[in-house]
Amino acid sequence: MKKAAVLMMEGFEESETITIVDILMRCGIEAKTFYFGEDPYVCSMQNMLIKGDLPFSDAIKDYDAIVIPGGRHAWGKLIEADGVLDMIRYFNDEHKLVAAMCSGTRVIKAADIIEGKTVTGYYGYEDVLTGAHFIKDVVACDDNLITSQGPATPYPFAFAIAEALGADTSVVRGRLLYKEAGGI
């Protein structure tokens, strides 16, 4: 079973994070949230306390993907947190999957892994994600890097991650009536 580590820093965007974890698990991916600090209860962007699964540690290196959701209050803290940028670089150097959406794309920019890659991000981020080829699309996939726009895009983002990890998403898409709802 493939495994995805989803980072959950104080101020994370809860609808993105929880939806990503849910979709990945439905697709047969072991998705675990990783919190920072001693308290597993992490305060989200909308002041919800959500319990993380595991503390951030080198154990993440055993995972097949690292996922950085958005959260306008979280991205700066992730950049400053000990080991986060090095962990992202490790995943990139090992050619493991790196996935970021919304303001999480600012974290992968800080890790210096987007140079020359095709990316997307939140509206206006073409001026932030410099050095990459920015496209205005829901999801961008370039080799081992997947990026997505923002709060309205966790479904296509999570499906892209699951598919990159080898999962067949057709059953889950069908059960969610994804195509009928206008999903891509």
Q: What is the dihedral of CA 69, 75, 79, 84, to 10 degrees?
A: -20
Reported as a single tens digit per residue, the pLDDT across 71-84 is 989 999 999 999 99
Q: Give domain status of residue 143, yes or no.
A: yes
pLDDT of 138: 95
Count structural domains, the chain: 1
Average pLDDT over residues 53-65: 98
Asked whether the beta carbons of 140 and 114 are under 8 A apart, the reply is no
Residue 180 lies in a domain: no
Record the tokens describing residue 91, joined without a space. Answer: 């995943």
Asked if residue 27 lies in contact with residue 2, where contact means CB atoms within 8 angstroms, the answer is no
Q: Is residue 160 part of a domain?
A: yes
Amino acid 182: pLDDT: 76
Residue with tokens 């994600």: 129
DSSP code per residue over 89-124? HHHHHTT-EEEEETTHHHHHHHTT--TT-EE--STT
Three-state secondary structure of 45-92: CCCCEEECCEECCHHHHHCCEEEECCCCCCHHHHHHCCCHHHHHHHHH
> Is residue 16 helix, strand or coil?
helix
Q: What residues make up the domain containing 98? A: 3-175
Report yes or no on 182 lying in a domain: no
23 within domain boundaries: yes
d(CA 53, CA 150) in angstroms, rounded, equals 23
Q: Look at residue 183 and tell me if it is in a domain.
A: no
pTM above 0.75, yes or no: yes
Instruction: Give the residue-averaged pLDDT of 151-180.
Output: 92
CA angle 151, 71, 82 (to 5 degrees): 145
Q: Which CATH number does the domain housing residue 54 bear?
A: 3.40.50.880
Look at residue 107 in the predicted model and tell me its pLDDT: 98
Domain-embedded: residue 184: no
**Cα distances (angstroms) measured from residue 3 to each of 8, 64, 164:** 16, 5, 12
Report the pLDDT value the prediction gives residue 178, as an integer from 0 to 100. Answer: 75
How far apart, in whole angstroms, are the C-alpha atoms of residue 111 and residue 91?
A: 11
Has residue 181 been placed in a domain?
no
Residue 26 backbone dihedrals phi, psi, to 5 degrees: -60, -30
Q: How confident is the model at residue 66 (pLDDT cuts 50, 70, 90)?
A: very high
Q: How confident is the model over 2-34, as pLDDT tens digits?
A: 999 999 999 999 999 999 999 999 999 999 999
Q: What is the pLDDT of residue 94?
A: 98
